[in-house]
Homo-oligomer: A and B are copies of this chain.
Amino acid sequence: METLKIVKIGGNIIEDETSLNAFLKLFSNLEGKKILVHGGGKRATSVALKLGIESQMVNGRRVTDAKTLEVITMVYGGLVNKNVVAKLQALNVNAIGLTGADVNSISSEKRPIKEVDFGFVGDVKKVAHESIDKLIQADFIPVFCAITHDGNGQLLNTNADTITSQVAIGMSKLYKTSVYYCFELNGVLENIQDKNSVIKHIDSKTYKYLLDRGIIADGMLPKLENCFDALKNGVNTINMGNTDMLIKANDNFTKITL
């Protein structure tokens, strides 16, 4: 099986032109078949504010109403996605920008209303791995933003981390998949106070050990739970660290395997 790399970057990189350009250069040098997934960043919030759309929060969580969804579609699907594609083209990466609606790549269903109505938020239902693969086989590099659709004409806001893991799980039917979650830290840290205490390799056994010792807790816990869920569903390797982990010689990041 051929390897497919799926790289996720967050808003912190998207928002800073210098960081974005540096990252895209690294991404362009990445060998083999690859997919990029990007988050949106605070740009959507600032555009919404200027348009007089207030962010609705319920129990501390953002609600995507119809107006907010329009802003997200404009900012993530248009401004961010298409500028990333144009920048990648300038680096000779034959990128193609996608939402989940394009080639019906990621369908989702509107999150059911329980205690909170999150509005136009979609939970991923199906990844059309064969359609995505047609693009990859044509030597195009898919660039996903954090938008899916319900198949009935409705776009839906979807978490970029979830899109990453679901696309990776889907593509695992055809490829040996390696996911790269780029974030601010160098990796999963043994000591949260020491940014250089990167745990280089976590597998099911060491994960249990780290859990038992309370080394993995708080925000890192759900992140790693998601990772192991993806690994159990076919994903081969998950890497967590800052964008430098895309540099070939660098091994200062966390590699997670089953």
Does chain B have a CB within 8 A of A78? yes
For chain A residues 59-104, which have a beta carbon within 8 Å of chain B?
70, 73-79, 81-83, 85-87, 89-90, 94-99, 101-104
In contact, A149 and B86 (Cβ under 8 angstroms) = yes
19 contacts between A and B (CB under 8 A): A50-B51, A50-B52, A51-B51, A70-B79, A73-B83, A74-B75, A74-B79, A77-B79, A78-B78, A86-B153, A89-B151, A89-B153, A90-B153, A94-B104, A96-B102, A97-B99, A97-B102, A103-B140, A135-B138
B-side contacts of A75, CB under 8 Å: 74, 78
In contact, B78 and A74 (Cβ under 8 angstroms) = yes
Interface residues in chain A, defined as those with a beta carbon under 8 Å from any beta carbon in chain B: 47, 50-52, 70, 73-79, 81-83, 85-87, 89-90, 94-99, 101-104, 131, 134-135, 138, 140, 147, 149, 151-155
B-side contacts of A50, CB under 8 Å: 50-52
B-side contacts of A94, CB under 8 Å: 103-104, 131
Main secondary structure of the interface of A (DSSP, over half): helix
B76, B83, B90: the one contacting A152 at CB < 8 Å is: B90
B-side contacts of A103, CB under 8 Å: 94-96, 140
Smallest beta-carbon distance A146→chain B, Å: 12
Expressed in whole angstroms, the Cα–Cα distance for A101 and B77 within the complex equals 14
Smallest beta-carbon distance A144→chain B, Å: 12
In contact, B82 and A77 (Cβ under 8 angstroms) = yes
B78, B83, B101, B138: the one contacting A86 at CB < 8 Å is: B101
Smallest beta-carbon distance A47→chain B, Å: 7
